[in-house]
Structure formats: C-alpha cells, structure tokens
Chains A and B, each alone.
Chain A
C-alpha cells in the first residue's frame, strides 16, 4: 500500500503546486515532479532491498493485494516514468505547453496510479477502476498538442478503442460472473476448476481481447500506429513502455490467478495464436514504415508479442523473464524515443529519410539510437539480447513441443525485426546522402535521459544482479502457486 499512498502524495503535491504557485514558478514543475518520483522510487527500492515490504499485504477486504513481485514491477514502471519525465522537460516547458504543463503531469500520475491498482487488484471491480483510470486520462494526454490536427485524431481513436475494449472486457467479466458468482480472483479460480463450457471459452476470449486492445496485440492493434504518430512524443513514449508494461503484468496476473486452472484447456492456444500473429504482423508492417514514430509503434506491437511469451510460459521463470523484459524494453525504447524526441524538438523532423547521414552531423545521438536499435533487436552484449534469451528460456521451460515451435517462430521473427532495426542504423551510418539535420545540441534533460537509458542498455544485461534478483523475487512470489499446468 505504501507505494500507492506515496504516489497519491506526489500527485497532491504536484496538483497543489500547479494550482497555487505563481506563474513564474511553474517552470520548476517538471523538475519537481521528476525529483518527487525519484524520491518515491528510491524509497520503494530501499524498502524492497531491506525487505521491509511484507510478503503479502491485502486491503479492502482482499480486493487489493501486493507482494514482492508487484512491488518490483511498480519500481520498474517508476524508473520508466522518471526517464519519461526527464525527457519531457523541454517539451513541457515549451511555449505551447505553458497553459497545460500541470495537466500533463497530473494526468500522467493519475494513469500511473491506475496502473498500480490494476497490478495489485484481486477483484475485478478494482481492476476495472484501475484499467479505466489508466486509459481514459491517457486519451487527454494524447490530445495535449491542441494545435495539431493529428493529435486530436489520435485522441479520438484512442478513446474510442479504449472504451470499446473496456466494454468487451466487461462483457467477458459478466460471463465469468454468471459462471462463478464472484468477482474475486481467488473465488473465480477455485470455482473454475473442472469447468469447461462454451461460455467460459467466450468469457476468456473477451477478456483476452479486452486487454489485448490495451497491449495492442494483433488483431487488436489497429489503433496503435495512428495514436503513436499523433500523440506528442513524450506521451507516445509513455504509452509505449509504461502503459504496455503495466498492462502486460496485469494480464499475467489475471491469466494466472483467475484463469490459471484452465490454462492448457482454454487459453494457452488462444494466446499461442495471438503471439504468432502479433510478432509476425507487427514485424512485417514495421518494415514499410518511414515515419519513426509509426515505425516504433509497429516495433512495439511485435515486442508485445515477445512479452506475451512470458505469460504463455506460465511459470516462475516466465514471470521473472517478463519483468526483466519490461525493464529492458523500457530502457531500450525510451532511448529510441529520446533520440526521436530530441530531433523532433530541435528540427521537427520525424521521417527515417531525414536520418540519413545523421552520424556525420550528430554522432552521439546516432550512437545512442544505434544502441537502442541493437538492444531492441536483441544483439549482445546489449541488454535486449539477455532479455530475449531469458524470455525464450523461460518459455521453453514450459516443456511442450508446441512451445519449441513457438519459440522458433519468434526467433525467426527476430531476424525480420533485425532487418528493420538495421534499416535505421543503415540510414544513420551507411547512407551517403547529405544529412538534412544540422548539428544541434539537445537540451540538458534530453541528454541526461539518454545517458541513463544508454547506461541501462549497457549495464542491465552484463550485470547479472538485475535478472538474478527478479528471478529470486519471482520464485519467492505467492504467484507461483497459480502456475500449475
């Protein structure tokens, strides 16, 4: 509970500061938010390290429950949020954002709070509250660029899909309720054992579809590219890593703690098909993209497919590998968005063709981008290699031949993804065209965030502590008991 309360306190401080402080102090708001979030994260991290977090706390008559794994994923998300906050300082302090600066930070903190609830919910009522407060304010954030037409379009697309997917999700829940008479995860879990009916299959299909929209799994991904392109870059990066990471973890919780009993009978095959579709379609569409934000949108679609391997693994190693994957993905993707955002802020250019010859004019940004691409593609010694390797190892630990086939398909897909990630590297390093982006100095916040992310890309894999401790947390976790085949 401490983390939620801490986050609420941060939110209140930011809110009161925005409302009551005079206009000339407002420019300090981005910095203040980042500092407060850092304090919160450090406190949570210290508590985790010293073992102050009790193994499982619950509140609201068992509707809310937290444990070491939940605390860890919240810290991981916090780290991502801090990086986004640092990256967005320049944008938030720009002329156009002067009136809406506070809104951005408040909405962001509210969505983060919603994600916290989603992760820790053990009752579908609380889960829905979390889901809604994590997605509706995001639509407002997407629309923050008031003067840009695309931003509005994206917001409308986002809110329509969000609402629609919630409706689908709740439809599934009503079926579940009809079958079991409860919305507590635990009650449903035990009530479902031994059951297999068409209604259950439909219910699970609806639930997966509902969350699949949020995760942008294929075929529920159609909103992704447009929204990523239309939203302000800081919001896009937030949407692509934090929102995705939180939802993926919540998805794992729901699938194991609610529907774990019917894993092999009902949803293993649904997810199996979804993963293949997601990875393949995401990759194939990414090849054709020239706009960097759309490009990363499709790349993130396929990355979501890899994250789902941690869910289908259905064991402690899968859980740990998924958390680790999310951590690494946050750093790699934010490095890429950091470069894109810096270039967009300085020149307004977003097309891959503009990146041609970038190494000659902006070598440091190019190197950061290259490391991000290599990490996303899973090239050693960068962190992405380790996260991919461990998520495959975790998935294969499940043991069936079908999983070997799935992993093979995923592996072949990494080659396709390598192709388009290399296209960016090629544009920056190999192309001999004259670069249209002149040398510029990115803002302090952008550079700081890039250093952090690049440091993460280099360190997260080679330093084994991160994965080892996540695996330790996962194998201590109370969630382990749900992983029975």
Chain B
C-alpha cells in the first residue's frame, strides 16, 4: 500500500494532525513548525510527483498513472482507488503551494492548535479528493474538506461570521446531497446488465454503460452538486459572505483550492462519465455560468469591502472555469484547467494581501483607506501584481488562461456559443474596471486616515507567503507551454473517444 507515492498525500496530513494533536495549545512554535514542515514536505512531494509523472507519461498510453486500488467495502466494490493524470497533478501542486502559503499567512493566529487541526483536516480532504478515482472515496474526501470550513469561519472569522459559516456549510452540503444521489445513481448504472457494478471512474468510463435516459437525470445532479462549490449562478451566494467572513488562510484555501474541487469534479465526474448528457444539456449550464461570469464581475464593481470584491471576482473567474469546461473541446478545457491554477494562485495572493492589510488598518472598506503605496510599498506592489494577473496582463497567469479559454470557446461555429463567448469576454473589461478602481483608490489615492501613516510593511513570513505565490503566478504566465503540455496530455485519445463522440468542434 505504501509503495504508491500518491497515498502519502493523505498520510502526511494525517501525521501532521497527529503531531499537532500532541502539541500543547499555549506554545504556538511547535505547532507552526509542524505545519510548515508538513506543508513543505507536501510541496516537495508534489514536485516529486510532477517530475515522476513527466518521466512516466511518454512511456505509456494509460489515461491515469500511479493507479492503485485497495479493497475497502468489498461487497459493494468500494475501493480506496488512486490515480492521477495531468490535471490532478496540477491541482495537487496548486493545493500544496497554497497550503504552504496559508500556513505562513496564519502565523499569528489565535488558538493555533485548533486552527491548524481544522486547516490540515481540510487539506487532507482536498488532497484525498484529487488523488481518488473511486467515486465513494472521492465523495468522502470531498465532504471531509467541506465541514472544517464551518468551524474555521465560525471561530476565527470576522463580521457576520455565524451567518456566513452556516450559510456556506448548508449550501455546500446541499450541493453534496444532490451529488450523493448522483453518485449512487452512477454506481447502479455503471456496468451493463449483469456486469460487476463499480465505483471506479476509469472502469465506469470504459464500460460506458449509463443509458441515455439516466445520463440526462444524473448529469444535472452531479454537475449542480459540484457546481455549487464552483460558485455557479444561482448557487454562488455562499461565496461572497463566506469569503468575507473567513480568516485569511481559510479564504486563501477556500478560494484557491476548495472552489477548484467543484470545477475538477464537474469535469472528472459529470462530463467524463456522462458525455452524451453533457453535450446535450451543456447549453443550460452555459447560460448559468455565463451569468456567473458577468454578474460576478458587475457585483465586484459596486462593493467597497475588499474581501467582497475579491469574492465576487472569484465567482466570475470560477464561473469562467465551468464555462470553459462546458465548451467540451480540448482548447477550452485546457484553458479551464489553466484558469483553475491561475485563479487559485492569484486569489490566494489577493486574500493573503487583504488579510495583511486588514491586520494593519483594521478595515477592509476601500473608502476608509488610501495611499497605501506610500505606507506599505511592498504589500502595495504585490497587490498591483495580483491585480494585473487578475485582469489578464500578458506575462502573468491570467492572460494565458483566459486567452486559451476564449480561443477554445470561439471554435464553436454556432451562434449560441459565439454570443456567449463574446458576453463572457466582456467580463475582462469589467474586471479591469474593478481592479483598477481598487488599485487607484486604495494604493495611489490620498491617505485617508492619518493613523495609517504609522503602519509598517510586511514581515518576513508574510514576504515568504506572497513571494511564493507571485513566483508561481509568473511561472504560469511565462512558461505556459510547460503547463499546457502537462494538462494537455490528459486529453488522450481514450478520453476523447468518450468525450469526442458528440463534441462538435474537435
């Protein structure tokens, strides 16, 4: 069991949980040490995985690598099955970087023991989700990742934290209720009549036994189930409140990683397993995600709370992820994955910076702050970089991702897709509006509050956290081809034999 590298992505967080559990609550140093060492180990492991994956990929045609499976509930054919392709590797890399940055960002948190216990339980769920290829374990890890959010926001949050925490938890769990039904339904139709039913994604895709009628029922179930976490309109309302109330590291992890679970799940389960229904029903969800993209961006324009602005910007950007996935062609889907990476990193950066600014000024209202460029130049410059990445400046990650998405989307020759692509493209302009508004007001405007002049710039752990993220954002922007290759290899002929049947623009 322990010869497979993937299993360590769950083992390391569990060891971290144990380590932190043994620490004493009053002294934060050993807790920080465990968190940092553990997340460094995770990052190292994910880089190691990336290298191994790239080395192995050309040698085989298998859709997934490092595939392994251990029987768990044998009578129901439930396995602890793991396996990764390029998308999962990219997501694992993203998660480990953000966990690392998040640990640094919560250096001075109160009640560190409980905080890190929940945070690491959350990341256990995230990593478990990305390595699983068994629907049952995948769903289990999915829910493990959701529930710590309640306490993380409720205890360490700010503002209307009780309301937000409850709303977020109930809405996400509501999504997973649909999801659970969808997954059980997939299980019972996973094999042809008389065959061995299975939860394994690869086997289900190979069997291709879900009848057309059942696909049209199960596809919306699973897509909406994951789509709630992907902040799809009209199920996005948990996101602004949740992010606004959450503490810094939690916002980072949530917007950076957890929302990606939604997009990843939509692709891996809903579309991959039920391609026919996906291509037929895509238009409904295209409309919804199209609304998310534009609506989120407009909302961000009128908010004055920094966290709300970025939460709505996340709604818009994550909507773009789902939008691109639903285009059902290689280019757009590659763009979607790039967008997940890009959005994950830059939102994490945004929320980290907002947390740092809030920690100093004790306000997040942009009308009550100004001229931060003079007061804390380091943080201000970082903010500008994040903003530029968000509005799609070439050389940073946002441009690469959005470009790929829109090129891919426009490949569809019909009116409907093109109109919606154009509408979604408009969001770039709106993004520029709200980003530049904040940058202009917050960073370059006049100093509003005289007390702010005494504030200090970033400390060393804050610098570590931000520099890591900025380097990653720039890396994607400068070497898009590397990531493109990594992700693109996923769309092997096997996958497109499933997907391509009905996809119009291949």
A interface residues, Cβ below 8 angstroms from B = 374, 379-381, 385, 389-390, 392-393, 396-397, 399, 404, 407-408, 411-412, 414-415, 418-419, 422, 425-426, 429-430, 464, 467-468, 471-472, 475
Contacts and interface: CB of A to CB of B under 8 A. Distances in A.
11 contacts: A379-B147, A381-B144, A389-B180, A389-B184, A397-B188, A404-B185, A411-B180, A419-B166, A429-B154, A464-B74, A475-B75
B72 interface: yes
Contacts, number: 80
Interface in B342-387: none
A374 B140 contact: no
B129 to A, nearest CB: 11
Contact of B155 (A374, A429, A467): A429
B154 A430 contact: yes
Nearest to B137: A380
Contact of A411 (B141, B161, B178): B178
Contacts of B429: none
Given A419-B166, A422-B169, A471 B75 contact: yes
Contacts of A468: 73-75
B151 A430 contact: yes
B174 A415 contact: yes
Nearest to B74: A468
Interface of A is mostly: helix
A3 B78 CA distance: 34
Interface residues of B, number: 33
A472 B141 CA distance: 27
A332 to B, nearest CB: 15
A396 B188 contact: yes
Contact of A429 (B75, B144, B151): B151
Contacts of A412: 174, 177
Contacts of B33: none
Given A418-B173, A429-B151, A385 B74 contact: no
B471 interface: no
B10 to A, nearest CB: 11
A396 B151 CA distance: 33
B73 A407 contact: no
B151 to A, nearest CB: 6
B143 interface: yes
A399 B193 CA distance: 13
Contacts of B143: 379-380, 385
B327 to A, nearest CB: 29
B151 A472 contact: no
A399 B181 CA distance: 13
Contacts of B188: 396-397, 399
Contacts of B73: 464, 467-468
A413 to B, nearest CB: 9
A467 B72 CA distance: 10
A380 B140 contact: yes
A385 B150 contact: no
B181 A408 contact: yes
Contacts of A379: 143, 147
A392 B188 CA distance: 12
Contact of A392 (B74, B154, B180): B180
Given A404-B181, A426-B162, A430-B151, A418 B170 contact: yes
Given A381-B140, A429-B151, A464-B78, 9 more contacts: A385-B140, A407-B184, A412-B177, A415-B174, A418-B170, A419-B166, A430-B154, A464-B72, A468-B73
A407 B181 CA distance: 7
A425 B170 CA distance: 14
A415 B150 CA distance: 14
Nearest to A415: B174
A463 B496 CA distance: 38
B323 interface: no
Contacts of B166: 419, 422, 426
Given A385-B143, A407-B181, A426-B154, A415 B173 contact: yes
Given A380-B140, A414-B177, A418-B173, A393 B147 contact: no
A396 to B, nearest CB: 5
B452 to A, nearest CB: 29
B44 interface: no
A415 B177 contact: yes
B76 interface: yes
Nearest to B124: A381
B150 A425 contact: yes
B104 interface: no
Contacts of A471: 75-76
Contact of B151 (A385, A415, A425, A464): A425
A232 to B, nearest CB: 33
B144 A380 contact: yes
Contacts of B165: 430
Interface string B151-165: 100110000011001
A471 B77 CA distance: 13
Contacts of A381: 140, 144
B130 interface: no
B434 interface: no
A145 B74 CA distance: 48
Identify the interface centre among B76, B136, B174: most chain A CB within 10 Å of its CB.
Answer: B76
Closest A-B pairs by Cβ, 3 of them: A411-B177, A430-B154, A380-B140
B162 A392 contact: no
B187 interface: yes
B88 to A, nearest CB: 20
Contacts of A426: 154, 162, 166
A404 B188 CA distance: 12
Contacts of B74: 464, 468
Nearest to A396: B184
Contacts of B155: 429-430
Contacts of A404: 181, 185, 217
Nearest to A399: B188
Given A418-B173, A464-B72, A393 B184 contact: yes
A213 B159 CA distance: 46
B103 to A, nearest CB: 22
Contacts of B144: 380-381
B185 A396 contact: yes
Nearest to A416: B170
A457 to B, nearest CB: 14
Nearest to A475: B75
Identify the interface centre among B144, B177, B178, B217: most chain A CB within 10 Å of its CB.
Answer: B177
Interface string B71-90: 01111101000000000000
A444 to B, nearest CB: 24
Contacts of B154: 426, 429-430
Contacts of A419: 166, 170
Contacts of A380: 140-141, 143-144
Contacts of B170: 415, 418-419
Nearest to B180: A411
A206 B78 CA distance: 40
Contacts of A467: 73
Contact of A472 (B75, B140, B178): B75
A393 B166 CA distance: 28
Contacts of B72: 464
Nearest to B175: A415
A467 B74 CA distance: 10
A404 B221 CA distance: 12
A391 to B, nearest CB: 11
B174 A393 contact: no
A65 B184 CA distance: 35
A318 to B, nearest CB: 13
B187 A393 contact: yes
Nearest to B197: A397
Interface in B212-240: 217
Given A404-B185, A425-B150, A430 B162 contact: yes
Given A380-B140, A380-B143, A426-B162, A393 B76 contact: yes
A163 to B, nearest CB: 40
A392 B184 contact: yes
Nearest to B143: A380
